[in-house]
Amino acid sequence: MNEFENLKGFYDRYPSEWVAWRELVDTVEETAREFGFRELDAPSVEPTDLFRVKSGEDIVEETYSFVDKGGREVTLIPEQTPTRARLVQQRKDLGTPIKWFDTSKRWRYEAVQKGRDREFFQTDFDIFGVESVEADAEIIACAGTIFEKLDVADSVEFKLNDRQLLDALLRGLGVGESKDVMRVIDKKEKISRKEFLGKLEAEGVDRETAEEIDELTAISGEMESALVELSNKAPESEAADEAIGRMHDLYNALSAYGVESMCRFDLSIVRGMDYYTGLVFEAFATESDLRALFGGGRYDDLIGQFGSRDVPAIGFAFGYSPTMQLLKELGEWPDETISTDAYVLTISDSVHEIGLKYAMDLRRGGLKVETNLTDRSVGEQFGYADRINAKYTIVVGERDLNEGVVTVQNMASGDEKQIPKDQVVEHVLNLL
């Protein structure tokens, strides 16, 4: 007999584990709806060329891409941004702002490591059609609110930067072509100061300018004070002054949302060079070696690559696997136990249909209810009620019914109470 296991990087989540995941997903989606994001549903498979537009030919090696039976090159989506760009371009009648979210599975063919899988859940949040700093603040406030609801806001921080600001500072220092220098800056936290300066010089930056870049990109910390320090040290530049002013406006908006304490300014945050155009941010656990929980930013030039019109955009993708690891480390991961509001126990076949009616009336009241589906004895039914963590067991017996009552047992305490048979549903609904 053949025995099969799941593929590496793919996971079986049985009901007892998935109930905890579902609680996390529900928290994220609840927050999205509270902020006015509208849920969409999009394909799991797209033409491979859609991803080549954004990421180039290398995307084929990094994804589950194949030729389908119709001879078309297709890809299991590794992300949803290209799909959303297609959707925005297809519907010119959509009014702005467009605020979308979606939770679904994504796939990447890459090395499996802590917090990074080959099949993974992701919730994408995007605002299309708005250039203002208000959209930037709302995206970050939404992300911050998720961690507040998960009771780990004190253990998470957002590191913010603005690519236009960094570009303006570099040009103010005389760096003409800034992209290669930005790539070096992006690696700064992972290398020594000596290596950092050496890599800058390898990109044609003279030693004195390299040291100035090192000093500027060391500016980080609480946003308001860091921006004041930056204003004092930044080279004279109208573009830099304008970008610093925008970051001040962002800080004020974040303060109005009440999430400014979670945010830090960090000039070394760069993210995707060919993708982001302005604000960029990443979420980190402050006391853990986990990689970034997720990241996002403004990508005003991307949508235009997929059609005839340019549409400003900002968004982030919420990563579940690293957040799950963080919640477990902090003891905030939800209980991995299934729960049931009530189990309807029928003592004999003669009262089975009456038991089913009680069950259906309780379900219509919004409760999770199970009934006896097999020929179990009374003892076995109580054992099953324990196994499914039923809060209450409703014992339906012929003798009790003849006396006009039904027994309701609290499974945690063992206390029993006889309830008039026509008041059972109301009584249990009131208990829960």
Q: Decide if pLDDT at 274 tops 80.
A: no
What residues contact residue 161 under an 8 Å CB cut-off, 6+ apart? 265, 266, 267, 268, 269, 270, 279, 280, 281
- pLDDT confidence of residue 378: 95
Give the rounded percent of residues in the chain with a pLDDT score beyond 70.
99
Tokens of 64: 């589950």
Helices (H) and strands (E) in the chain, counts: 16, 17
Tell me whether residue 400 is annotated as binding: no
Task: State CA 372 to chain mean position distance.
Answer: 38
Q: Rounded mean pLDDT of the chain? A: 92
Q: Decide if pLDDT at 115 tops 70.
A: no
- pLDDT confidence of residue 273: 64
Domains and CATH numbers, the chain: 15-42+80-329 (3.30.930.10), 340-431 (3.40.50.800)
- Of 351, 381, 385, the C-alpha closest to 368 is 385
Cα dihedral value 398, 399, 402, 403, nearest 10:
-140
Kind plus residue range of the DSSP H or E element containing 429:
helix 424-431
Tell me whether residue 423 is annotated as binding: no
Cα dihedral value 377, 378, 379, 384, nearest 10:
90
Tell me whether residue 79 is annotated as binding: yes
Tokens 């939770």, located at residue: 103
Sign for the pseudo-dihedral over CA of 310, 311, 315, 317:
negative
Torsions phi, psi for 237 (to 5 deg): -165, 125
- pLDDT confidence of residue 323: 93
Mean pLDDT calculated for residue range 160-164: 92
Q: With contact defined as beta carbons under 8 Å apart, do 179 and 163 qualify? A: no
Q: Decide if pLDDT at 176 tops 80.
A: no
Tell me whether residue 298 is annotated as binding: no
Kind plus residue range of the DSSP H or E element containing 27:
helix 15-34
Tell me whether residue 11 is annotated as binding: no
Beta strands (DSSP E) in 332-389 are: 340-346, 369-371
Q: Decide if pLDDT at 263 tops 90.
A: yes
- pLDDT confidence of residue 179: 79
Most confident of 224-238, 259-273, 279-293, 368-382: 368-382
- Of 417, 424, 410, 411, the C-alpha closest to 357 is 424
Q: Decide if pLDDT at 372 tops 70.
A: yes
- pLDDT confidence of residue 240: 87
Establish how many alpha carbons lie within 13 A of residue 355's alpha carbon, considering only the half-sphere containing its beta carbon.
25
Tell me whether residue 39 is annotated as binding: no
Strands 263-266 and 416-420: unpaired
Per residue in 214-228, pLDDT (tens digit) is 888 888 899 999 999
B/e letters for 355-394, b = 16+ CB within 10 Å, e = fewer, are beebbebbeeeebbbbbbeeeeeeeebbebbeeebbbbbb
Tell me whether residue 80 is annotated as binding: yes
Tell me whether residue 275 is annotated as binding: yes
What residues contact residue 415 under an 8 Å CB cut-off, 6+ apart? 409
Per residue in 126-153, pLDDT (tens digit) is 999 999 999 999 999 999 999 999 999 9
Q: With contact defined as beta carbons under 8 Å apart, do 396 and 355 qualify? A: yes
Per residue in 395-423, pLDDT (tens digit) is 999 999 999 999 999 999 999 999 999 99
pTM of the predicted model, to two decimals? 0.89
Mean pLDDT calculated for residue range 309-333: 93
**Local confidence band at 16 (pLDDT 50, 70, 90 cut-offs):** very high
At residue 13, the 3 state secondary structure works out as coil
Mean pLDDT calculated for residue range 375-392: 95
Tell me whether residue 81 is annotated as binding: yes
428: amino acid identity, one letter: V
Per residue in 199-257, pLDDT (tens digit) is 888 888 889 888 888 888 888 899 999 999 998 888 888 888 999 999 999 999 999 99
Full DSSP string of 93-121: T--SSEEEEEEEEEE--S--BTTB-SEEE
